[in-house]
Amino acid sequence: MSRVRQVGLLAAGCQPWNKDVCAASGDRFAYCATLAIYVYQLDHRYNEFKLHAIMSEHKKTITAISWCPHNPDLFASGSSDNLVIIWNVAEQKVIAKLNNTKGTPASLSWCWHVGEAVAFAPRRGPLLIWTISGPDSGVAVHRDAHSFMSDICTFRWHPQKKGKVVFGHMDGSLSIFQPGNKSQRHVLRPDSLEGTDEEDPVTALEWDPLSADYLLVANLHHGIRLVDSESLYCITSFSLPSAAACVQCVAWVPSAPGIFITGDSQVGVLRIWNVSRTTPIDNFKLKKTGFHCLHVLNSPPRKKFSIQPPTPNHYTSSTSEAVPPPVLPPGQAFSLPPGHALCCFLDGGVGLYDLGAKKWDFLRDMGHVETIFDCKFKPNDPNLLATASFDGTVKVWDVDTLTAVYTSPGNEGGHVETIFDCKFKPNDPNLLATASFDGTVKVWDVDTLTAVYTSPGNEGVIYSLSWAPGDLDCIAGATSQNGAFVWDIKKGKVIQRFREVRCSFLVPSSLVSVLLRAFPMLLSLNFIANPQVALCSLT
């Protein structure tokens, strides 16, 4: 008997739900999909990053990841099933688990000055510290970091001052705790928010690696500030080029003192800053989709390498096309610092960008950011595979190169909810139909993945569909309302409905006799639009 062998993997994209979902250490980096962590490692022989491991133990959405600063083989992850896991990357296994945490570990970080301890916090706190081994093993509540008046967005340990930690809150304020010092709760809100109930979430926090007291803070609407955590004074407020620009993530560049980078939330613009200037030194539009998170590798790869620029139909992520980074204008004296930025985008895209060379060293064509419910090969081209996902998009992949060739626009012109089913039209494989939780069926032009027909809706959740065989331009759909319908795509209307049937599903009529023998409880059969398709109903 021949054996089935895996020949390729369409990796999931980086999830857009939580903040700290990418991390790096040495020649490895990792990002979180919804239920799994993808770890890439530099292959020095071939001088490229390759998928090293897929770590999947969480049963609910992963909320955060943090690499151990003391051991490059260890990282921690938390999830919404109240679970924290310690992983060994080299051995690709779980080495410790903390079940039933007190609340979902929404934020998580290794403790810098304790060998084997991980801190995590639910949205309202408190900060909990899990000592993994040794005589003091167990979970302890931080003495001061509790009873917050606003939800925690993120927190960061100081890499130099032992025990010093800062929290960013939904209301735009900071809380700073340091052993031996007075606790500072909900301070340093943007000036324009003082005395109001408005919220302006802290999107990013990063300690200055060359200062004991300075801290970069980014608020979603009020931009970036450099603040002094001791005097509680704002040293510099940085100005964005446009009032519409919002900063999603911030990272210092360790190889260039005073230099940091930011990623915009609306569009994939990477900005280079120097603390001595209030405006960006340079801006690069890397993608049409906004940034989600950003991390600068402390130890970038020793050798330089790059991939070829994308072709017009080569997508760099799940829903949008990459924009080739621009070249600096002639005569511009500034050159970007050496370093590699791990960039994760809101559409699931992940890339490793060489700041000095202004090019991608690694750019992975990403998959869906959520569960895939259905997949179909294109009937007239076995190299193309369509996938339908919980994330509301349908994509067409080249299975030879494992790249997304076409992708639907998501909720901006596509389905606004989960897609459960997808099918190519038998006599016209350039048409692809999808059934969705949003109560509609859409028909897509495969060459562009633009919706050319949309059903009227009002059918409830549509779980499955079937094209009518032959030349009929009809689609049958089975719905959550104990029924089914037939939609004529050219006339744009539903021409037949079946009500009060249970567990509806669509099958070729050639299988009906088999189903009758296998399921004696089968009650009714209705041939829909064409004698070759039957609606089966079970009690």
Q: What is the pLDDT of residues 338-357, one digit of tens each?
A: 789 999 998 888 999 998 88
Nearest to 98, CA basis, from 79, 111, 85: 85
Q: For residue 97, give every residue at least 6 positions away whose Cβ sits within 8 Å of its Cβ, in sequence order, or none.
A: 83, 84, 85, 86
Domains of the chain, first to last: 7-142 (2.130.10.10), 238-367 (no CATH), 372-538 (2.130.10.10)
Instruction: Read off the DSSP letter of residue 518.
Output: H
The structure tokens listed for 269 are 């613009």
- Give the total residue count for the chain: 539
Q: What is the pLDDT of residue 298?
A: 67
Determine the Cα–Cα distance for residues 26 and 42; give it in Å rounded to an integer: 9
Distance of CA 72 to the CA centre of its chain: 24
For tokens 């949309």, name the residue: 454
Q: What is the pLDDT of residue 464?
A: 87
In the chain, the amino acid numbered 524 is: S
Determine the Cα–Cα distance for residues 108 and 32; give it in Å rounded to an integer: 13
| Count of H-run helices and E-run strands, the chain | 1, 43
Determine the Cα–Cα distance for residues 130 and 110; give it in Å rounded to an integer: 9
Do residues 429 and 471 make contact, with C-beta atoms less than 8 angstroms apart?
no
Q: What is the pLDDT of residue 260?
A: 96
Q: For residue 289, give every residue at least 6 positions away whose Cβ sits within 8 Å of its Cβ, in sequence order, or none.
A: 267, 268, 317, 319, 320, 345, 346, 347, 349
Q: What is the pLDDT of residue 413?
A: 66
Count CB neighbours of 182 within 10 A: 9
10 Å CB burial of residue 50 (0-12, 13-18, 19+) is exposed
* DSSP per-residue string spanning 165-200: EEEEETTS-EEEE-TTS--EEEE---GGGTTS----
List C-alpha distances in Å: 334 to 130, 263, 273: 45, 20, 12
Nearest to 533, CA basis, from 457, 450, 463, 472: 472
Q: What is the pLDDT of residue 1?
A: 62
List C-alpha distances in Å: 355 to 76, 300, 340, 394: 28, 11, 6, 33
pTM: 0.80
Q: What is the pLDDT of residue 441?
A: 94
Strand order in the sheet with 533-538: 505-508, 533-538, 522-527
Dihedral-angle region of residue 112 (phi above 0 means left; psi in -120 to 50 means alpha; beta otherwise): alpha
Nearest to 155, CA basis, from 103, 100, 111: 111
Most distant CA atoms of the chain, gap in Å? 81
In the chain, the amino acid numbered 442 is: K
Q: What is the pLDDT of residue 537?
A: 54
Task: For 293-327, give one letter per residue: b (16+ CB within 10 A) or e.
Answer: bbbbbeebbeeebeeeebeeebbbbbbbbbbebee
Do residues 132 and 110 make contact, with C-beta atoms less than 8 angstroms apart?
no
Q: What is the pLDDT of residue 239?
A: 95
The structure tokens listed for 76 are 């921690």
Q: What is the pLDDT of residue 470?
A: 78
In the chain, the amino acid numbered 14 is: C
For tokens 């009937």, name the residue: 379
Instruction: Read off the DSSP letter of residue 515.
Output: H
Instruction: Read off the DSSP letter of residue 71.
Output: -
For tokens 């949003």, name the residue: 438
Q: What is the pLDDT of residue 258?
A: 93
Q: Which residues of the chain have pLDDT under 70?
A: 1, 195, 298-335, 365-366, 410-413, 500-539
